[in-house]
Amino acid sequence: MLATVRRCYGFSDDGILQRIAERGLDCYPMSVSRVFGKNLPVMGGGYFRIYPYWLSRWLARDLNPNTSIFYMHPYELDTHEHHEVGQHVNIPLKMAVHQFARRSSIPGKLNKLLQDYPFSSFRDHYYAATPTVANAPQ
């Protein structure tokens, strides 16, 4: 797992952010923490689900609160999906662990996170200075 993490998180200076922007897409890299010279994902998705809360909080200790990103998929809150769907379609064990492990921990950790850190939305924080188009739906 760590070999995959090492290759996937953080951006090198190879111009990928510029190429993404040139295509008209916004890119907000996932928050990472540098541990032993490697970027480890923090505050998002499966990592937030699998890490114990104390580890997420420790990894987040050096994050900039103005630019850090927490993200999660809405399905991460569905603690019944595996029992209702996953078991009936014979999802391979590796995928089941990847998708369903520790989902029941999310509500408690999410409540702690919301108490421990201030939050805003992308709309309110990153796009606040972006001019709106006249007559565009709000």
pLDDT tens for each residue of 108-128: 999 999 999 888 887 787 777
The whole-angstrom separation of Cα 18 and Cα 25 is 10
Greatest CA separation found in the chain?
51
The whole-angstrom separation of Cα 119 and Cα 129 is 18
- pLDDT, residue 99, reads 81
The whole-angstrom separation of Cα 51 and Cα 60 is 12
pLDDT tens for each residue of 4-61: 333 445 555 557 777 777 888 877 778 888 888 888 888 888 889 889 999 999 999 9
Name the percent of the chain lying above pLDDT 70: 78
b (16+ CB within 10 A) / e for 41-68:
bbbbebbbbebebeebbebbeebeeeeb
DSSP states along 5-26: HHHHSS--SSSHHHHHHHTT--
Q: Is the pTM of this model over 0.75?
A: no
pLDDT tens for each residue of 60-80: 998 888 778 888 888 888 877
